Amino acid sequence: MLNNHDLQKAFLTHFSIEPAHLVHAPGRVNLIGEHTDYNEGFVFPAAINFGTWIAATPRSDRQVVAVAMDIGASENTFRLDDIRFDEQDGWANYVRGVVKMLQQAHPHIGGMNLMITGNVPQGAGLSSSASFEIAILRAFSEAYGLSLEGVQAALLGQQAENDFVGCSCGIMDQLISALGREDQAMLLDCESLTFRHTPLPEELAIVIINSNVKRGLVDSEYNTRRAQCEQAASTLKVKSLRHASLAGLEQSRSEMSDNVYRRARHVITENSRTQTMFTALQAADIAKVSEAMAQSHASMRDDFEITVPQIDYLVDIIAGVIGDKGGVRMTGGGFGGCVVALIPKNMVEKVSDTVNNFYHNQTGLTPTIYVCSAVRGAFA
Ligand code: GAF
């Protein structure tokens, strides 16, 4: 991973000019509230100390030249007047999409030179793409004095991903990348887009364990889950599952397939667990945090069916070590990726040893462990 000095140097070498702006946007870990954002429910993420860094200088013409340092300094150029999907350079569509959406809202923006690098593990459920989108928006906002606010930036990033890149994600990832706070997590109401930050108890560490399971079928499974949730909401005659209750779901059970019923049960119960966990964390009631995270994992495994055996195994062995002194669950969209654990700092070593000693033997995969901190978002 390069530091800012290397990034500046690479910019100078490539563009023969010093960068005028250096910006950063973090990735995120979701502590609880999975697949609830697009159901207008609650999520509880934190921005983490892995992210995207961009060096940028505005251009006097209407071209955007973006260079991906981590993909062999691959360069992608496009004109503001003709922004199209790039079939070859997948990564460039995040830049193109974001700039296209930004230009619709701020037609006076001009061209830009961008040198991009990052260290969010790709495809691990830690929001490398949202961090990329928000960093691009931060660069344009600074360079063209747009004074974008966090929620506006998040909505533009989401719009780029939904309408240009082609992934129907919710708003959580962009919002926390924009508005995270140091040492805090954020309870976000995805209907009103209002949020509350709360400090993470000092005695707990955020530990992320990457299962390194290659995620397959993520997009299609994600879209299927989303469609099933919408189907449930329509059967229950509510605007979104945010407005559904368990009692109402039970009453209408015979009107839906078992799959749709269980997807809805996950979302309804997850919304309530997320609020419970926020209150428990505020009160430093760790046993309650532990219970909420355990139930969340079981619900993702049994009702929403988005976990894989390797992830379930990680959760089991970590829970075996920490008991009710901390919490552990899968984090992110699912089908591989990472487990998040809130662990007493004095148990981190024991948990790491357990994971390193048992996970490989059981699965043939080598885990990666990141002890993280919660950081400030790009528009905070
Ligand atoms: C992905 C999506 F991008 C988020 O919007 C959210 O739905 C998450 O999966 C699941 O909670 O990260």
- Is the pTM here over 0.90, yes or no? yes
State residue 4's pLDDT score.
84
From 38, 127, 173, the mutation candidate for ligand 1 (largest count of ligand atoms within 8 A of CB) is 173
Atom of ligand 1 nearest to the CA of 38: 7
Q: Does the CB atom of residue 15 touch ligand 1 within 6 A?
A: no
State residue 216's pLDDT score.
66
Q: Does the CB atom of residue 170 touch ligand 1 within 6 A?
A: yes
37 is in an annotated binding site: yes
State residue 220's pLDDT score.
82
List the beta bridge partners of residue 67. Answer: 75, 115
Does residue 1 have a pLDDT over 50? no
DSSP 3-state of 338 = strand
Per-residue pLDDT reduced to its tens digit, 185-219: 999 999 999 999 999 999 999 999 999 998 766 77
Query: Known catalytic residues?
Result: 173
State residue 123's pLDDT score.
87
Q: Does the CB atom of residue 133 touch ligand 1 within 6 A?
A: no
The rounded distance, in Å, linking the Cα atoms of 140 and 132 is 13
State residue 217's pLDDT score.
60
128 is in an annotated binding site: yes
Q: How far is the CA of 37 from the centre of ligand 1 (A)?
A: 7
Per-residue pLDDT reduced to its tens digit, 5-57: 899 999 999 999 999 999 999 999 999 999 999 999 999 999 999 999 999 99
Average pLDDT, rounded, for the chain:
96
* Domains by residue range for the chain, with CATH: 4-197 (3.30.230.10), 204-372 (3.30.70.890)
Per-residue pLDDT reduced to its tens digit, 300-322: 999 999 999 999 999 999 999 99
Residue nearest to ligand 1 atom 3, measured at CA: 169
Tell me the average pLDDT across 257-270. 98
Q: In degrees, to the nearest 5, what angle opens at C-alpha 334 toward C-alphas 332 and 338?
A: 60
111 is in an annotated binding site: no
From 42, 169, 230, 340, the mutation candidate for ligand 1 (largest count of ligand atoms within 8 A of CB) is 169
Q: In degrees, to the nearest 5, what angle opens at C-alpha 262 toward C-alphas 260 and 266?
A: 120
DSSP 3-state of 185 = strand
35 is in an annotated binding site: yes
Q: Classify each residue of 208-242 as buried b or exposed e, where b means 16 or more C-beta atoms within 10 Å of its C-beta.
A: bbbbbbebeebeebbeebbebbbbbbebbebebbb
Does residue 297 have a pLDDT over 80? yes
